[in-house]
Amino acid sequence: MGKGEGRAIAGTLAFCWLVLLAVDLAAGLGIARLRFDDGLQDAFVSDDDWFRDHQRFDRLFTGPDGDLVVLFEAPDFAAPEALERISDFVLEAGFIEGVADTTSIFTLRRPPGPGGMADPILPAVLPDRDGLATLLDEMRITAPAAGALLSHDRRLTAVVVTLADGGRSLKTARPVAAALAGLADTALAGSGISYSLTGVAMLRAAIVDGLYQDLVVLVIAGVAFGFVVCTVAMRSPLLALLGTLPSATALILVLGVFGALGFRISVLTVALPVLILVISFADSVHLTFELARQARAGRASPQAEFEALRRVGPACALASLTTAIAFGGLMVSGSTLIRELGVAGLLAGIVSLVAVLFVHPLVFATAAHWRGLDRLFAGKKGIAPAFFDWRALPALALASPLPVAAGAGLLLAAAVAIYPSIEPVHSLRENIYDDRSVIVALDRIDRELAPVNAIHIPVRIDGRLDAAAFGRARQVHDIAQATAPDGSARSLVSLAAGLADVGAGEQAARVDALLARMQASRQGRFVSSDGDWALVRLHVADEGARATRDLVGRLDAALAAAGFADRDVVARPTGFLVMSSFVSARMITDLNYCFLIAVAASGLLILLWSRNLRYGLVALMPNVLPIALVGAGLALSGRGLQFSSGVALTIAFGIAVDDTVHVLNRLRLNAPPGEPFDPAALRRAMAEVTPVLVVTTAVLSVGLTADFLSTVPTAAYFGALSILVLWLAVVADLLVLPAWLRLMGPSERTAPGRRFA
């Protein structure tokens, strides 16, 4: 290479680096605009009737889903000095900006008298310990709501804080929670009373807080883990570093695009950066091994980089496009959150591909210009160690193609037969670990007080609480309690507890007068803001979507049997718990359709790329098989299909196609014209590609283990399922795919000897 040519190459490289630096700086501005949100508010937005019912009544009532709950614990709240501390807290909490009102044992009232006047059960001046103990014990018996606010052993008491915006915005909930914590610290100082903050709003806040940490930890861990595997696989830290730079650049650009376009990091998309990182790592590894092959063939830089890009680049592009298509299939989901993941993944796949195809040649051409390509790949550098060479699998497939192909076909048929029995499952709790303080406190409330989650049953009263309307509410209240004996029904009927000595009309009049004296936020727990509906709330523990759907079915049947089949009189059970249980089932089922779209589109894309119908058909077998096996395993194990597992199976399919594409690409490069299934070409293609496939699978898998560090259990579950699918896929591509390809080709005896490039 002459000096003039060397200077020209150096100038071109410098210009490319300046362009890359400018793009990275622009991406940095986008990263600064990244948003973090649990996404749970939008996860179930759809045209489903269950969602429409929830949206309709959610605006009319004050629901418990947005409450903050402060759980206090003391040796015995019958001690006046302990209860006075809680009284001080409750008094001050009502003045915090963003708080609508509070509910506690201090707000519990005796049965309303004429005119709705109702005295508090607890007097302003508390009696001595013995008197207070008797009063609290009687309260739990006579006041229906007391069991949700004071435990039977008097060690726990809860203060429910109603947020002014109904808990719809975490921006409102966070400062209120911080103010409540500061107030509790002050009020309880030196008292020996402990407290915990919980509730659905706090659960959502805990999830979002974890997402900030996850983005940093998962990315750093993904890069570090991938670098270690690359170092081992390429026998050179320098090659590993050079191979890491394209994927790191891809990640920067993807996050920059996310920030610029307003995408958010949520419980589903938090795993996406690591996923994009390891996918681009895999493309970089394929290009690096091909570059090593070109260097050993005697080609010099930059021709070697261009040749590697020409031979492997199209396969990398096709693999990235199939992954992008798998993401694109999610865009047909009824969930806003999943559709957003689909769009984000589609864009990320394209952006990361462009980044790798630009940065990989640039990085290695620069390194070769200053160090020399021969030195970069001297000795065994760029040659995978023997433990990555699983050539025994394709050797077995090529020696006995019919038994291997037939066995795989039978296994696929069995898995496909089991797969449809998989049950959609969902719970809000699946997004946070059970040992987090917010969950521990929530569990204690559910277990020792009363469940926070509730099923809502609106009952028509038409703006007037008369004897008929009150009687209708009582019937529904009693049916709800009888249907779920372990639950706790609360309604207007609860306000009339202790009024058995007066008639229904008088009870209705007193309760109506009592409601008129309440604040709007507290009144909204019993009647709608337009006055047309009363609300029966059945508080039940969240035992999963299936259990909730079963309970709602029993409630519907019991209401219909009692003559309340008319939805204009007694509306269908609703509330966030009910809505999410039914809508999630439909959306999780929709993910199977997303998977079918990904399968069909990937097969078509391979067909168009290879211009060979049999390639397109045979490529599906080794990629559908791992998904079907994992799905059948989920069905048989009872784990069911969650949002995270449904998304993981769809996306993992797209990633798994990567291996198949590179096998077919290597066969295309080796096969003689017009003889795509030549046995000798197939044997050589498998020998060349096998170590690289195992290395890239190891890189992907080890990179995805970073998800195990996530504070969101669904992200860890996503990573585990993806890793399982990837290893099943590489075994299928090394064993099942060559067997099917071999069966499609001529017999060994009829195939003439060939020379390959």
Q: In sequence order, what DSSP letters do the residues of 543-566 get, joined into one string? A: --HHHHHHHHHHHHHHHHHTT---
Q: What is the mean pLDDT of the chain?
A: 84
Residue whose token pair is 């997303």 = 594
> What band does 460 get if pLDDT is binned at 50, 70 and 90?
very high
How confident is the model over 183-200, as a mean pLDDT? 90
| Measured distance CA(531)–CA(524) in Å, rounded | 9
> Using the 8-state DSSP alphabet, how is residue 120 labeled?
B
Burial of 504 (0-12, 13-18, 19+ CB in 10 A): middle
Q: Is the pLDDT of residue 595 over 80?
A: no
- The residues, ordered by sequence, that sit 6+ positions from 446 with a Cβ below 8 Å of its Cβ are 452, 541, 542
Q: Give, for 474, the enclosing helix (H) or strand (E).
A: helix 467-483
Residue 141: strand, helix, or coil: helix
pLDDT for res 720 = 87
Task: Encode pLDDT of 402-440 as tens digits.
Answer: 999 999 999 999 998 998 888 777 776 777 777 788 888
Taking the alpha carbons of 729, 731, 734, 735 in that order, is the dihedral positive or negative? negative
CB atoms within 10 A of CB 74: 22
Kindly report which listed range (97-101, 202-206, 267-271) carries the lowest average pLDDT score. 267-271
Percent share of the chain, pLDDT over 70: 94
Taking the alpha carbons of 418, 423, 428, 433 in that order, is the dihedral positive or negative? negative
pLDDT for res 621 = 80
Q: Which of 69-83, 377-391, 628-642 has the highest mean pLDDT?
A: 69-83
How confident is the model over 588-613, as a mean pLDDT? 74
pLDDT for res 757 = 40
> What band does 756 get if pLDDT is binned at 50, 70 and 90?
very low
Angle made by CA atoms 484, 487, 491, in degrees to the nearest 5: 100
- The residues, ordered by sequence, that sit 6+ positions from 418 with a Cβ below 8 Å of its Cβ are 631, 632, 635, 636
How confident is the model over 244-269, as a mean pLDDT? 84
How confident is the model over 256-266, as a mean pLDDT? 84
How confident is the model over 230-240, as a mean pLDDT? 87
CB 323 within 8 A of CB 360: no
Angle made by CA atoms 302, 303, 308, in degrees to the nearest 5: 100
pLDDT for res 751 = 47
Q: Give, for 195, the enclosing helix (H) or strand (E).
A: strand 194-198
Q: 279 pairs with which residues across the strands?
A: none
Task: Encode pLDDT of 502-553 as tens digits.
Answer: 788 888 888 888 888 888 888 888 999 888 999 999 998 888 888 899 999 9
Q: Is the pLDDT of residue 98 over 80?
A: yes
| Measured distance CA(345)–CA(349) in Å, rounded | 6
Q: For strands 156-163 and 68-73, give the pairing.
A: antiparallel
> What band does 43 get if pLDDT is binned at 50, 70 and 90?
low
Backbone angles phi, psi at 150, to 5 degrees: -145, 130
Residue 538: strand, helix, or coil: strand
Kindly report which listed range (36-45, 110-119, 632-641) carries the lowest average pLDDT score. 36-45
CB 115 within 8 A of CB 511: no
pLDDT for res 755 = 40
pLDDT for res 41 = 60
Q: Is the pLDDT of residue 754 over 50?
A: no
pLDDT for res 746 = 66
> What band does 40 get if pLDDT is binned at 50, 70 and 90?
low
pLDDT for res 115 = 79
Kindly report which listed range (19-28, 401-410, 428-437, 485-494) carries the lowest average pLDDT score. 428-437
Task: Encode pLDDT of 646-662 as tens digits.
Answer: 777 777 777 777 788 88
pLDDT for res 159 = 93
Roughly how many angstroms between the first and final C-alpha of the chain, as a whole number? Answer: 26
Task: Encode pLDDT of 561-594 as tens digits.
Answer: 999 988 889 999 998 889 888 888 877 777 777 7
Task: Encode pLDDT of 674-721 as tens digits.
Answer: 777 788 888 998 998 899 889 888 888 887 787 787 777 877 888 888
Burial of 343 (0-12, 13-18, 19+ CB in 10 A): middle
pLDDT for res 406 = 92
More confident residue, 85 or 276: 85
How confident is the model over 729-736, as a mean pLDDT? 91
CB 367 within 8 A of CB 376: yes
In b/e form, how buried is each residue of 705-727, taking b as 16+ CB within 10 angstroms?
A: bbbebbbbbbbbbbbbbbbbbbb
pLDDT for res 26 = 92
Per-domain residue ranges for the chain? 3-38+205-427+581-744, 68-198, 447-580
Percent share of the chain, pLDDT over 90: 21
Q: Give, for 68, the enclosing helix (H) or strand (E).
A: strand 68-73
Q: Is the pLDDT of residue 616 over 90?
A: no
How confident is the model over 162-169, as a mean pLDDT? 76
Q: Is the pLDDT of residue 38 over 70?
A: no
Q: For strands 533-539 and 454-460, give the pairing.
A: antiparallel
More confident residue, 44 or 363: 363
User: Which of 178-185's residues contact partners 24+ apart within 8 Å by CB, and which partners?
Assistant: 179/96, 179/97, 180/68, 180/70, 180/93, 180/96, 183/89, 183/92, 183/93, 183/96, 184/70, 184/89
pLDDT for res 5 = 63
Kindly report which listed range (28-42, 173-187, 412-426, 510-524) carries the lowest average pLDDT score. 28-42
How confident is the model over 664-677, as a mean pLDDT? 82
pLDDT for res 428 = 67
| Measured distance CA(114)–CA(513) in Å, rounded | 8
How confident is the model over 308-334, as a mean pLDDT? 82
Whole-angstrom CA distances from 682 to 316, 672, 676, 739, 740 are 20, 11, 9, 10, 11
Provide the token pair at 295. Answer: 């260097």
How confident is the model over 390-407, as a mean pLDDT? 92
* CATH classification number, 3-38+205-427+581-744, choose in 1.20.1250.20, 3.40.50.970, 1.20.1640.10, 1.10.10.10: 1.20.1640.10
Taking the alpha carbons of 15, 17, 21, 26 in that order, is the dihedral positive or negative? positive
> What band does 3 get if pLDDT is binned at 50, 70 and 90?
low
| Measured distance CA(152)–CA(137) in Å, rounded | 8
